[in-house]
Structure 1
């Protein structure tokens, strides 16, 4: 599956915005059981929407930025209801990230990944993110 093919039904995308050896994390405000935890920003792909288009739309809505690309990183994470969460490296094209749908934003480097209180699903990507950040 490429970034331009339609995402499978129930596909959830997470965007790894990387800059200067750091990845951008967003602090959740909801649901209550995840509030305060950190994640890669993103959301559900709309029916017929490509993976890249879903990332562009979600990161525009959540961060107020423009991104491009969708290079898959790490394993797919199964979610309830048969959905699947996948992380993708994206390039920040324009804008300054703002927490439009989150409590806060934070840039972290490879050494900080283990100390951040990530949502459980995003922990699956730590090894791959660390490797990418150290390149």
Structure 2
């Protein structure tokens, strides 16, 4: 089902992210760029769902734009979600696990990428919405 304008009003923000898992069981995180809210924090790659997009198609698009990789809806497994106040809005973050993609992730819109073990995510400074997802990822992976 494609989210409609009525289901996500101006006070809600629907965001998708990927826990990209490599062959060694590590997860890719990216550092938020300077000049953006929460600059310098580590996060899972992804972004906003635009009107008319499914969450999966938005994530495929975001991963291509941010990392220069290609993946497909069928390679995204829904994993968890987070709900967090964000300024005057409310963030709904949908996290997917992705184990298959084409290309080597590059930091196209961020200063740095890092592959880390799920347990090591606890030691990174991450946005509030990402933090509760760490334990879920540890259990899944």
Structure 2 gaps of 5+ residues are none
Q: CA deviation at 1:65?
A: 0.5
Q: Could you tell me which residue of structure 1 aligns to residue 83 of structure 2?
A: 77
1:71 partner SS: strand
Q: CA deviation at 1:79?
A: 4.0
Structure 1 gaps of 5+ residues are none
Aligned 8 A contact 2:21 2:98 in 1: yes
Aligned 8 A contact 1:113 1:130 in 2: no
Change in CA separation of 1:82 and 1:117 when aligned onto 2, cut-off 3 Å: closer
1:6 to 2, 17, 42: 2
**Structure 1: how far apart are the matches of 2:67 and 2:85?**
23
Matched, 1:118 2:126: yes
Aligned 8 A contact 1:66 1:92 in 2: no
CA root-mean-square deviation: 1.8
Aligned 8 A contact 1:74 1:124 in 2: no
Larger Rg: 2
Decide which moves more: 15-24 or 69-78.
69-78
**Structure 1: how far apart are the matches of 2:14 and 2:36?**
23
Matched, 1:88 2:92: no
More strand by share: 1
